[in-house]
Structure 1
Amino acid sequence: MSQSTITFRIPDDEKELVSEYAKAHNSSLTELYRNAVLDKIEDEIDLKTLQNAIKISKEKKEMGISQDEMEELLNEV
């Protein structure tokens, strides 16, 4: 798999904070930044998926149930 390099600038105090965080979590700066960006992208995709599901549910005039009702149904299985 080919790889690319991305360079960006951050203030020295932020770099120190991020470096210490990475060190405390036994992670490299590369791993930390890559995971943070990918997590952010995944969260945004998940949010858009949820919003779309809610929109479709409203258009179909579907009725939801409470968590308690769902747990009762699951306990019956």
Structure 2
Amino acid sequence: MSQSTITFRIPDEEKELVAEYAKAHNSSLTELYRNAVLDKIEDEIDLNTLRKAMKDSKIKKEVGISQDEMEKLLDEV
């Protein structure tokens, strides 16, 4: 798999904070930044999927059920 390099600038005090965080979590700066960006993208995709599902549910006039009702249904299975 090919790789690319991304360079960006941050204030020195932020770099120190991030470097200490990475060190405390036994991670490299590269891993930390990559995971943070990918997690952010995944969260946004998940949120958009949820919003779409809620919109579709409203259009279909679907009705939700309580946790207790769901547990009763699952007990019947």
Which of the five TM-score ranges fits, normalised by the shorter chain?
over 0.9
Quick one: which amino acid aligns to residue 16 of structure 1? Answer: E
Shift of 1:75: 2.1
Q: How large is the RMSD of aligned CA atoms in angstroms?
A: 0.7
**C-alpha separation in 2, matches of 1:69 and 1:45:** 30
**Where does the alignment leave 5 or more consecutive residues of structure 1 unmatched?**
none
- Kindly provide the amino acid, as one letter, of the partner of residue 11 in structure 1: P
Q: CA deviation at 1:8?
A: 0.4
Deviation, structure 1 residue 71 = 1.6
User: Percent of aligned positions with the same letter in both sequences?
Assistant: 86
Q: Spell out the pairing of 1:5-24 with structure 2 (5 A cutoff).
A: 5-24=5-24
Q: Which runs of 5+ in 2 are unaligned?
A: none
Structure 1 runs of 4+ with >4 Å offset: none
The 2-side partners of 1:47 and 1:16 are apart by 32
| Equivalent in the alignment of 1:32 | 32
* TM-score between both structures, scaled by the size of structure 1: 0.95
What is residue 69 of structure 1 aligned with on the other side? 69
